Chains A and B, each alone.
Chain A
Amino acid sequence: MINKTQSRLLQWTALFLFIQSLILSLAPAVRERTWDVDFRVSHWLGFIVWAGFTYLAHRTMTKTLPDHDPYIFSAASLLSGWGILTIWRLDESFGLKQSIWLGVSLTAFIFAAHFFTNLALLKKYKYLFLSGGLIITSLTLLFGTNPLGVGPRLWLGLGGIFFQPSEPLKILLVIYLSAYLADRTNIRLFSLPLLVPTLFVTGIALLLLIVQRDLGTASIFVFIFAVFLFFSSGKRRVLIGTGAFLAAVLVLGYFLIDVIRIRVIGWVNPWTDPTGNSYQIIQSLLAVANGNMLGRGLGIGSPLLVPVAISDFIFAAIAEETGLIGTLGLIAAIWLILARGLIISLQAEDNFKRFLAAGVVTYLGVQSLLIIGGNLRLLPLTGVTLPFVSYGGSSLITSFFALFLLLVISNREDNEPAPLTNPRPYAILAGIFALGLAASALSVSWWVLVRGEDLLTRTDNARRAIADRFVQRGDLLDTNNQLINTTTGESGALIREYLYPSLAPVTGYTHPVYGQAGLEASLDDYLRGLQGNPSSLIFWNDLLYGTPPPGLDVRLSIDLSLQTVADDLLGDHRSALILMNAETGEILVMASHPTFDPNQLDDEGDNLSQAEDSPLLNRATQGLYPPGEILTPLIQTKFTDAPPSDEQTLNYYSDLGLFTTPKLRVPVSTHTASNTLNDVRFSPLQIALAAATLSNEGSVPAPRVAIAVNTPEQGWVVLPELGEAREVLQARAANDAATSFIQDGKTYWSYSGLGQAASTSVSWFIAGTPPNWQGTPLVLVAVVEENNPVFVQKIGDELIKKALNR
């Protein structure tokens, strides 16, 4: 019956891992959306190693341990196989190493199951084992290294193989404490027999904490010791006291030890420092959120974005690729081991075995909860491994040795458990583990179901940038459907190309490091395909590929033929120019100089943001300049006889809407109020809107630059307007003013003026089509950051002529 149970469970495990391997093999085809890829095959070696050694171990157990517990080995091999495939997916060389370690662990396991099923030896030589473990551990203080080169130096290295002695030391401590306390039941707290081990454990823990800064291992030692005290004394205050002690250490460590402070801050409030101290935990939560319900599929997510995903954050990696469903299964498998372990402990024949089993369960349970809780921000992060799953030879061997002890203890010849005076500690320990695992399960659900949306749209979610390499982004087109920004390359290596770089201050850029700006930022949802596509398409792409669907093209009102002329005219002058349809508000030309080339962002991104002439700034909408006399034509529509007072002028500006922020899909700056006329600053866009009234029968149009989006279902769809046109002047007054500013020999009205503030002066030029114009009513604004009215008038005249004579 037992062997049938175990072999059936192992068959399910093998099926699960086989399907996962198959998914990993096909993953490149899914990522690149073509069958013409290099399929991943090397991980099948890991699967074969797992299957072979697991089968041999199973066969050995059925012979030498006929009455062993059938659940825990199956659950442990599920976890170890899952771990190997996940590690292999993250890093092939580590996957190979982990497979070798699994082979070594299971060979030792088989060997032990043949020859060392008598645990009395462990009891007899408890001091030998413990002191051996201690000596080796203390060697790390002298010769310790870290395979990664940084971090706690907990390993001993020899010829490229690294071993972490503090891992087996946990089990050796469990053996020692079991043997020591088995003969001293109902021990009194604060008695001499307890003093020695107490001092001893506290000593190791403090040493680990202070010298090695290894909070995780130190707290596991303390927990194991506390549980032993609890079991032998039956006093609940032991647990409460330990909890208080660890909390005190945490608080003290917060002030004294940097690592602990970073961990505590990252735990309490990670959101304030997402790129620094809380980077790991936030990346972990992003991975969990990206996993959603079903997970991305092994090899299809991006768990490598989480630091140390193969060991500390393997739970997050598993969550990303097998989802909420997978992690709940993982947690259930861990519960199976812990719950069966405690039952084995209760049914053990003698106190030594009972304590040993309970100690092993404590070690596995506390370590699992610490790291799962750390990954999910339930607990402060401690760098311990997830037993059976995480990368690490020492951890894997120790975990399988712990499992071996449980299996031997469960293999009872005698039916009768040893007498038990107080069963409560076992129930309480089981309750603690159940609560911890349930909290972990709820926590995964929380990050996936409740906070998932928020997390994934964070700008520091690099998955968006990764998706951009695989999914075609929508193009930006000018009003004649000429390409402005487009995406080229092959799936997996798509890059954004900016065919008309001079427009960069307006259209902006999208870049994996520097983020997004301008229209690329404001139209991102359309260009990325998250808006305008049918929601079913978005859902399917997310489910199948974990990416948005191909993006949609957006047509702008910009007319490249005129834009080119404007850019040529402005040259290197610090200047801005807007040519707008005075009636519809469509912006035909928007220039801001100097400009920059977004194709060169990789090399020049850092310089650009600090450049003295601020090329990233869109001067046409964000540049705020003193208006000076440039609005004279407008003022004349109302104050025909005498010039207005300052207060009247300010009120008039307010009526014209110059203190409200225009709505446009690019960043816009305004001064929303001014007390004196000298402080007033307007952007070229605002002047253009006000001037448009003279060519538009007294109405201010609603400006727009993005016109339509090309949807798959309805073709080109006009984008919603952001604002409404407003009538601010009487049509007749506006028309009269416009007519009076038509100079001899010109077909349009125009006016130029200087705007002056403390140390700077700017030259303005405005022009527009006269009343009753038969063609498209236009308005133009140009501004140069120099005292040069001739120049600005020249380029203004030239451009508007060109526009009118088209």
Chain B
Amino acid sequence: MSAIIVLALRIMAALALYGFLGWAFYYLYQEVKRQGANIANKRIPGITLMIKPKDGKPSLRYFNQTEITIGRDPGCDVPLSEDTISARHAHLVYHHNQWWLEDLSSTNGTRLNNTFITIPTVVTTDDDIQCGGYVMSINLSENVIIEPTQRLKKKPAQINEDDD
């Protein structure tokens, strides 16, 4: 009799052990799903650049991507046609919830608010980037946030909470 009770307990112990593992694996699965969703839904605040040539009409450009390249090369996101500007002159990168301006070893350097930058520097609204004769004013003001998917719109609260 005791042996049958203990046999039942031995089976229960095995079930408890695998209960632990089962939950651990289930939580891992949930975490993978959540992280995937977080990264997929990570919103990039848009950035608006007011590009003013040395002499000419300023133009307004809006971007919602993580990297914006600036240079003489026509493949750049912001192509600037001026001889003092290098082919790939500088770029703006979004990480750590910030936009960073980085000079890409350009010949004549990049200035931020009239100061040459040597290391990646955080930029914000109303900062002026100067490359050669061009000046680009930054506007990070909201309202221009692009909502990436329809589904997100339904449960914005949940996304915010999980966005750790």
Residues of A within 8 A of B (CB): 5, 8-9, 12-13, 15-16, 19-20, 22-23, 26-27, 29-30, 33, 35, 67, 70-71, 74-75, 78, 294-295, 297, 300, 322-323, 325-326, 329, 332-333, 336, 414-416, 543-545
Name the A residues within 8 Å of B20 (CB-CB).
Answer: 9, 12-13, 16, 74, 78, 329, 333
Of all chain B residues, the one with the shortest Cβ separation from A26 is B6
Kindly identify which residue among A15, A75, A300, A414 contacts B24, using a CB–CB cutoff of 8 Å: A75
C-alpha gap A22/B11 in the complex (Å): 13
Q: Which B1-45 residues have a C-beta within 8 angstroms of A?
A: 1-7, 9-14, 16-21, 23-24, 27-28
Some 11 contacts from A to B, beta carbons below 8 A apart, are A9-B24, A9-B27, A15-B16, A16-B17, A23-B6, A23-B10, A33-B3, A71-B24, A74-B24, A329-B20, A543-B7
* CB-based contact A336/B164 at 8 Å: no
Name the B residues within 8 Å of A300 (CB-CB).
Answer: 6
Of all chain B residues, the one with the shortest Cβ separation from A12 is B20
C-alpha gap A543/B18 in the complex (Å): 20
CB of A663 to closest CB in B, whole Å: 40
Name the B residues within 8 Å of A75 (CB-CB).
Answer: 24
Additional A-B contact list (16), CB under 8 Å, known A19-B9, A333-B20: A9-B20, A15-B19, A16-B17, A23-B6, A29-B6, A30-B3, A33-B3, A71-B28, A78-B20, A294-B14, A297-B9, A325-B14, A325-B17, A333-B21, A336-B21, A544-B7
Residues of B within 8 A of A (CB): 1-7, 9-14, 16-21, 23-24, 27-28, 95-96, 164
C-alpha gap A20/B3 in the complex (Å): 14
- Which of B1, B17, B21 is most buried by chain A, counting CB atoms within 10 A of its CB? B17
* CB-based contact A19/B6 at 8 Å: no
Kindly identify which residue among B1, B7, B17, B27 contacts A70, using a CB–CB cutoff of 8 Å: B27
* CB-based contact B10/A26 at 8 Å: no
CB of A10 to closest CB in B, whole Å: 9
C-alpha gap A323/B7 in the complex (Å): 13
Name the A residues within 8 Å of B7 (CB-CB).
Answer: 297, 543-544
Given contact pairs A70-B27, A71-B24, A329 touches B10 in the complex (Cβ within 8 A)? no
Kindly identify which residue among A33, A329, A414, A416 contacts B17, using a CB–CB cutoff of 8 Å: A329
Kindly identify which residue among B12, B16, B95, B164 contacts A416, using a CB–CB cutoff of 8 Å: B95
* CB-based contact A35/B2 at 8 Å: yes
Of all chain A residues, the one with the shortest Cβ separation from B19 is A12
CB of B11 to closest CB in A, whole Å: 7
Name the A residues within 8 Å of B16 (CB-CB).
Answer: 12, 15-16, 19
C-alpha gap A325/B16 in the complex (Å): 12
C-alpha gap A415/B162 in the complex (Å): 13
CB of B124 to closest CB in A, whole Å: 19
Given contact pairs A19-B12, A294-B14, A12 touches B23 in the complex (Cβ within 8 A)? yes
* CB-based contact B4/A294 at 8 Å: no
Given contact pairs A16-B20, A70-B27, A322 touches B13 in the complex (Cβ within 8 A)? yes
Name the B residues within 8 Å of A326 (CB-CB).
Answer: 14, 17
Name A's interface SS: helix
Name the B residues within 8 Å of A16 (CB-CB).
Answer: 13, 16-17, 19-20
C-alpha gap A78/B12 in the complex (Å): 16
CB of A298 to closest CB in B, whole Å: 8
- Which of B5, B10, B18, B95 is most buried by chain A, counting CB atoms within 10 A of its CB? B10
Kindly identify which residue among B4, B11, B24 contacts A544, using a CB–CB cutoff of 8 Å: B4
Name B's interface SS: helix
- Which of A30, A35, A300 is most buried by chain B, counting CB atoms within 10 A of its CB? A30
Kindly identify which residue among A8, A30, A329, A414 contacts B2, using a CB–CB cutoff of 8 Å: A30
Of all chain A residues, the one with the shortest Cβ separation from B13 is A19
Of all A-B residue pairs in the complex, the 8 with the closest CB atoms, nearest first, are A29-B2, A544-B3, A12-B20, A16-B16, A329-B17, A19-B13, A15-B16, A30-B3
**Across the A-B interface, how many residue pairs have beta carbons closer than 8 Å?**
91
CB of B163 to closest CB in A, whole Å: 9
Given contact pairs A16-B13, A20-B13, A329-B18, A67 touches B24 in the complex (Cβ within 8 A)? no
CB of B7 to closest CB in A, whole Å: 6
- Which of B12, B16, B96, B164 is most buried by chain A, counting CB atoms within 10 A of its CB? B16
Of all chain B residues, the one with the shortest Cβ separation from A37 is B2
* CB-based contact A33/B2 at 8 Å: yes
C-alpha gap A71/B14 in the complex (Å): 19
C-alpha gap A13/B23 in the complex (Å): 11
Of all chain A residues, the one with the shortest Cβ separation from B1 is A35
Name the B residues within 8 Å of A294 (CB-CB).
Answer: 10-11, 14
Name the B residues within 8 Å of A30 (CB-CB).
Answer: 2-3, 6
Given contact pairs A71-B28, A415-B164, A26 touches B14 in the complex (Cβ within 8 A)? no
Name the A residues within 8 Å of B96 (CB-CB).
Answer: 414-416
Name the A residues within 8 Å of B13 (CB-CB).
Answer: 16, 19-20, 23, 322
Name the A residues within 8 Å of B24 (CB-CB).
Answer: 9, 71, 74-75, 336
* CB-based contact A329/B9 at 8 Å: no
Name the A residues within 8 Å of B95 (CB-CB).
Answer: 416
Name the B residues within 8 Å of A29 (CB-CB).
Answer: 2, 6
CB of A349 to closest CB in B, whole Å: 11
* CB-based contact A297/B6 at 8 Å: yes
* CB-based contact A295/B21 at 8 Å: no
CB of A294 to closest CB in B, whole Å: 6
C-alpha gap A8/B14 in the complex (Å): 17
C-alpha gap A20/B164 in the complex (Å): 39
Name the A residues within 8 Å of B164 (CB-CB).
Answer: 67, 415
Of all chain B residues, the one with the shortest Cβ separation from A23 is B9
Name the A residues within 8 Å of B5 (CB-CB).
Answer: 26
Name the A residues within 8 Å of B2 (CB-CB).
Answer: 26, 29-30, 33, 35
Name the B residues within 8 Å of A35 (CB-CB).
Answer: 1-2
- Which of B2, B9, B11, B18 is most buried by chain A, counting CB atoms within 10 A of its CB? B2
C-alpha gap A668/B19 in the complex (Å): 58
Name the B residues within 8 Å of A325 (CB-CB).
Answer: 14, 17-18
C-alpha gap A300/B7 in the complex (Å): 11
- Which of B6, B18, B21 is most buried by chain A, counting CB atoms within 10 A of its CB? B6
C-alpha gap A30/B3 in the complex (Å): 5
Of all chain A residues, the one with the shortest Cβ separation from B18 is A329
Kindly identify which residue among A9, A414, A545 contacts B23, using a CB–CB cutoff of 8 Å: A9
Of all chain B residues, the one with the shortest Cβ separation from A297 is B10
Of all chain A residues, the one with the shortest Cβ separation from B14 is A325
Name the B residues within 8 Å of A78 (CB-CB).
Answer: 20
Name the B residues within 8 Å of A70 (CB-CB).
Answer: 27
C-alpha gap A333/B25 in the complex (Å): 11
Name the A residues within 8 Å of B4 (CB-CB).
Answer: 544
Name the A residues within 8 Å of B11 (CB-CB).
Answer: 294
C-alpha gap A240/B153 in the complex (Å): 53
Of all chain A residues, the one with the shortest Cβ separation from B5 is A26
Name the A residues within 8 Å of B6 (CB-CB).
Answer: 23, 26-27, 29-30, 297, 300, 544
C-alpha gap A300/B96 in the complex (Å): 57
Name the B residues within 8 Å of A297 (CB-CB).
Answer: 6-7, 9-10
C-alpha gap A294/B17 in the complex (Å): 12
CB of B155 to closest CB in A, whole Å: 16
Name the B residues within 8 Å of A544 (CB-CB).
Answer: 3-4, 6-7
Name the B residues within 8 Å of A22 (CB-CB).
Answer: 9
Of all chain B residues, the one with the shortest Cβ separation from A321 is B10
Kindly identify which residue among A336, A415, A545 contacts B3, using a CB–CB cutoff of 8 Å: A545
Of all chain A residues, the one with the shortest Cβ separation from B9 is A23
CB of B61 to closest CB in A, whole Å: 27
CB of B70 to closest CB in A, whole Å: 23
C-alpha gap A329/B16 in the complex (Å): 10
* CB-based contact A5/B27 at 8 Å: yes
CB of B15 to closest CB in A, whole Å: 9
Given contact pairs A15-B19, A329-B21, A295 touches B10 in the complex (Cβ within 8 A)? yes
C-alpha gap A643/B6 in the complex (Å): 76
C-alpha gap A269/B37 in the complex (Å): 54
Name the B residues within 8 Å of A332 (CB-CB).
Answer: 21
C-alpha gap A630/B47 in the complex (Å): 120
CB of B24 to closest CB in A, whole Å: 6
C-alpha gap A325/B15 in the complex (Å): 10
C-alpha gap A12/B24 in the complex (Å): 10
